Structure 1
Amino acid sequence: MEKPIQKTELKKSCANCGAELKYKPGTTNITCEYCGHEEVITIDERGFKELELSPYLKKMGAQKHSEEISMLHCKNCGANQHVEENYKSLHCIYCSMPLVIEDAYKEEWILPGAVLPFQIEKEKSFAIFQKWVGKLWWAPNKLKKAALDPQFTKGLYLPYWTFDAQLSASYTGQRGEYYYENQSYRDSKGKKQTRRVRKTRWYPASGNVSGFVDDTLIEASQQKTGRIPKKIAYWNLKKLQPFNSGFLSGFVTEKYTIPLKEGHLLSKDVARNIATRWCKQDIGGDTQQVSSMNMSLSEETFKHILLPIYISAYRFKGKEYNFFINGENGQISGTRPYSFWKIFFAVLLGVIILGVIVYFAK
């Protein structure tokens, strides 16, 4: 019996010309690039669900709200990319290495509960990338050329876990209050001087704090290369929409490689930092020390979400470079190569000019 196609692998065809419909960033429409036909993505009015964490951390719980999808694994950088996009060039979005469609395999994943759709068109992201490259000093000409070719910039949905919980903690510590004393000393010339010195009086402190921790964001994928720079990894999660595969049309979707259990442990570290901050706020004073803290989390829920980013992958002299543009707010970051010859000739020109100046100065 032939296995049915899973819903995330279906491609919507244009009712007019039969071409593939693709998501139009910043809208709730999928559109045909050939004839302009548009269709509206149906948004679930019930919103997205926060899934109870405990059942998913048990062995059988991971099978709920999950389905089988086709994946392509990049043997060079380790990225796992879902076969949602029409892979025309079959190149890894991170490192641009060739991918082989025959290597595709099936794998279970926990369905995304929500997606933050792209808010920026690919053309705008391309213009942002061009402007950024144009400001780079000593960049190789090949990089400048890459910036003029749209095929180097692709849209990617990144997987993240978010965790919510009620947090409570009891603590012991110390509250520090500043005071100042005059102190005498001798300067370098042996002359007696006076200065004010800040000191701290410490008082014992203890108490309890509690509150709701909302949307702790944890990366759900990692590769040998191509990590997303923290400076642009900020999205407005209020723009999340209930998951609909229509938002993925025309883009690559990366599968999570950090399992839910590991993501949960990482979220606990974040929660502990939040609890420590709350404890210090509760202690008050000018400075604080938390000696011990007993933290507990309850009513824990989670979501698997997808967040948008544009990537331009570039190889120069055997080394990989990535440029990242946040698909929601347009922030850009990346690493760049330097042209040895441009720097060499610039230094050489500087030496020649300096030599001419010295010669005529004589």
Structure 2
Amino acid sequence: MKKRSRALNVHEYHQVYFKGQLMTGNKKIYQKKDRGNNKLLYRCVNCGGNVVYEPSKKKMICMSCGGSECQEVVPSKEPMVCVNCGSQIPYTEFQSAGRCPACGTYQLRDDKVSYPYGADAVLPFKISKHEAEEKLKEEFGKKLFLPGSFLSQKTLEHLKGVYVPFWMYDYDSNVDYQAVGTKVRTWTSGDKRYTETSYFDVARKIHVNYQGIPVDASIAMEDGIMDLMEPYDYAELIKHDNKFLSGFEAETYNMPPDQLASRAQEKADKANRGWIREYTSGYDTLTSERFTSNNRQTGTKFALMPVWVYEYRFQNQNYKFYVNGQTGKCIGTPPRSIGKAVGLTALVMASVFIGLDGLSLLLGVL
């Protein structure tokens, strides 16, 4: 085989202007305004029951009489006290909505849902609690050696819906990329095979407008877990309304946007490299690469994303499972019951011994 290499002094220059959106839709995300209200409890005007948002019906439903969109707002000057029964509610530092442990009434913490902690946008729960339970059963129900109580209805009652705080970042990105690219061509002539390698100076300039790059702003929720929960369909983000929090737990942002901007920039850079790969896909190899990305932040919004959280305790260890409240995607690693594993092993071994004894008996007869 004879190899022939040819170097070409070709300089390819592409300037690409791309104006698009990353992980967002066409609906407007509204700027923060001073809401300044002290709304706390949504009460039924018909029976006085607690009115909550029901994902399966996409409506506010009374937990007592089943009435639809029959709520009135009951304010309170005591954000840590239940409006319904007067019991103390053990809110955590950043919690903005929750459930009274005494009477089960869902209510909002008014000092955490109004300015400056109120959200700009919300992605309402789309998956109901029952649907989330079914998703968990579908995902983990066929796993081997599961503890018997893992997916029992009694333990699944601990499943709770949580709105997780996110900062959404807008960036104007300018990317410069340079590399040496090769294109390889091979052919056969007679009994000889030839290879021609062409070299190119590759340059790309890309301008991208990103709107709504999401970064979770909760200390309690691990970053890796929330990254696995993505993507959400951000086109369904709507202007925030406190009523969507009734029936769920929620947090306001735990950290200001400037502390999390580096994670958003990492996502922007990852997306920028994706665009570069797309616009240089015609080369067989790329070497001596130089990538420069300048991301200018143009805006931020505070949004709430839905997650179902299931906590299960087994053999003095806590296991957490998560269901995306919009898509139904499940995250988590279930425990294994050693007792079940040992029992199955013993059963298999017993079957083997019985089989061998039967074979010996049969051979003895023969």
Fold similarity call, TM over 0.5: yes
Which of 276, 289, 292 matches 2:290? 292
Instruction: Read off the aligned partner of 1:72 and give its amino acid letter.
Output: Y
CA distance in 1, matches of 2:213, 2:223: 22
Q: Residue 171 of structure 1 contacts residue 293 of structure 1 at CA under 8 Å; is this kept in 2?
A: yes
SS at match of 2:69: strand
Residue identity over aligned pairs, in percent, reads: 21
Is residue 141 of structure 2 the alignment partner of residue 134 of structure 1?
yes
**1:16 maps to which residue?**
46
Task: Please give the per-residue CA displacement for 1:122-143, whole angstroms capped at 9, x wherever unaligned.
Answer: 1222233344443232111232
Q: Residue 162 of structure 1 contacts residue 305 of structure 1 at CA under 8 Å; is this kept in 2?
A: yes
CA distance in 2, matches of 1:85, 1:330: 22
Q: 1:328 to 1:225 in 2, by over 3 A?
A: closer
Structure 1 residues 181-192: aligned runs within 5 Å: none
**2:320 maps to which residue?**
322
CA distance in 1, matches of 2:202, 2:223: 45
1:84 is displaced (CA, Å) by 1.5
1:6 is displaced (CA, Å) by 5.8
**1:33 maps to which residue?**
63
Unpaired runs of 5+ residues, structure 1, are 42-68, 74-79, 92-103, 183-195
Instruction: Read off the aligned partner of 2:319 and give its amino acid letter.
Output: Y
Q: Residue 42 of structure 2 contacts residue 51 of structure 2 at CA under 8 Å; is this kept in 1?
A: yes
**Once superposed, what is the RMSD of the aligned Cα atoms?**
3.5
Instruction: Read off the aligned partner of 2:123 and give its amino acid letter.
Output: L
Instruction: Read off the aligned partner of 1:11 and give its amino acid letter.
Output: L
Instruction: Read off the aligned partner of 2:173 and give its amino acid letter.
Output: L
SS at match of 2:44: coil
Q: 1:206 to 1:144 in 2, by over 3 A?
A: closer
1:290 is displaced (CA, Å) by 6.4
SS at match of 1:353: helix
CA distance in 1, matches of 2:309, 2:341: 27
Instruction: Read off the aligned partner of 2:45 and give its amino acid letter.
Output: A
SS at match of 2:43: coil
SS at match of 1:84: strand
SS at match of 2:335: coil
**1:337 maps to which residue?**
335
1:265 is displaced (CA, Å) by 1.3
Q: Residue 166 of structure 1 contacts residue 298 of structure 1 at CA under 8 Å; is this kept in 2?
A: yes
CA distance in 2, matches of 1:315, 1:12: 33
**1:119 maps to which residue?**
126
Structure 1 residues 227-306: aligned runs within 5 Å: 228=225, 230-286=227-283, 287-289=285-287, 291-298=289-296, 300-306=298-304
With the length of structure 2 as denominator, give the TM-score of the two structures: 0.71
1:359 is displaced (CA, Å) by 2.5
Q: Residue 229 of structure 1 contacts residue 334 of structure 1 at CA under 8 Å; is this kept in 2?
A: no
Is residue 222 of structure 2 the alignment partner of residue 215 of structure 1?
no
Q: Residue 321 of structure 2 contacts residue 331 of structure 2 at CA under 8 Å; is this kept in 1?
A: yes
Task: Please give the per-residue CA displacement for 1:263-316, whole angstroms capped at 9, x wherever unaligned.
Answer: 211111121222223233334432434622332234611211111111111111
Q: 1:260 to 1:235 in 2, by over 3 A?
A: same
CA distance in 2, matches of 1:31, 1:237: 25
Which of 178, 184, 189 matches 1:178? 184
Structure 1 residues 151-166: aligned runs within 5 Å: 151-166=157-172
CA distance in 2, matches of 1:318, 1:226: 25
Q: Residue 216 of structure 2 contacts residue 226 of structure 2 at CA under 8 Å; is this kept in 1?
A: no
Task: Identify the range of structure 1 (166-175 vs 315-324) with the bigger mean alpha-carbon deviation.
Answer: 166-175
Task: Identify the range of structure 1 (328-337 vs 151-160) with the bigger mean alpha-carbon deviation.
Answer: 328-337
CA distance in 2, matches of 1:142, 1:226: 29
CA distance in 2, matches of 1:209, 1:83: 41
Is residue 349 of structure 2 the alignment partner of residue 351 of structure 1?
yes
Q: Residue 177 of structure 2 contacts residue 290 of structure 2 at CA under 8 Å; is this kept in 1?
A: yes
Q: Residue 312 of structure 2 contacts residue 318 of structure 2 at CA under 8 Å; is this kept in 1?
A: yes
Task: Please give the per-residue CA displacement for 1:199-221, whole angstroms capped at 9, x wherever unaligned.
Answer: 96542222311122232121222
Task: Please give the per-residue CA displacement for 1:183-232, whole angstroms capped at 9, x wherever unaligned.
Answer: xxxxxxxxxxxxx9999654222231112223212122233869636444
SS at match of 1:215: strand
Structure 1 residues 23-102: aligned runs within 5 Å: 23-27=53-57, 29-39=59-69, 72-73=91-92, 82-88=95-101
CA distance in 1, matches of 2:103, 2:187: 70
Q: Residue 153 of structure 1 contacts residue 312 of structure 1 at CA under 8 Å; is this kept in 2?
A: yes
1:338 is displaced (CA, Å) by 0.6
**1:312 maps to which residue?**
310
Task: Please give the per-residue CA displacement for 1:295-349, whole angstroms capped at 9, x wherever unaligned.
Answer: 2234611211111111111111121111211111222232211111111111111
With the length of structure 1 as denominator, give the TM-score of the two structures: 0.72
Q: Residue 279 of structure 1 contacts residue 290 of structure 1 at CA under 8 Å; is this kept in 2?
A: no
**1:205 maps to which residue?**
202
Task: Please give the per-residue CA displacement for 1:40-69, whole angstroms capped at 9, x wherever unaligned.
Answer: 89xxxxxxxxxxxxxxxxxxxxxxxxxxx8
SS at match of 2:348: helix
Q: 1:268 to 1:89 in 2, by over 3 A?
A: farther
Unpaired runs of 5+ residues, structure 2, are 1-34, 72-78, 81-89, 361-366
1:256 is displaced (CA, Å) by 2.8
Q: Residue 168 of structure 2 contacts residue 300 of structure 2 at CA under 8 Å; is this kept in 1?
A: yes
1:260 is displaced (CA, Å) by 0.8
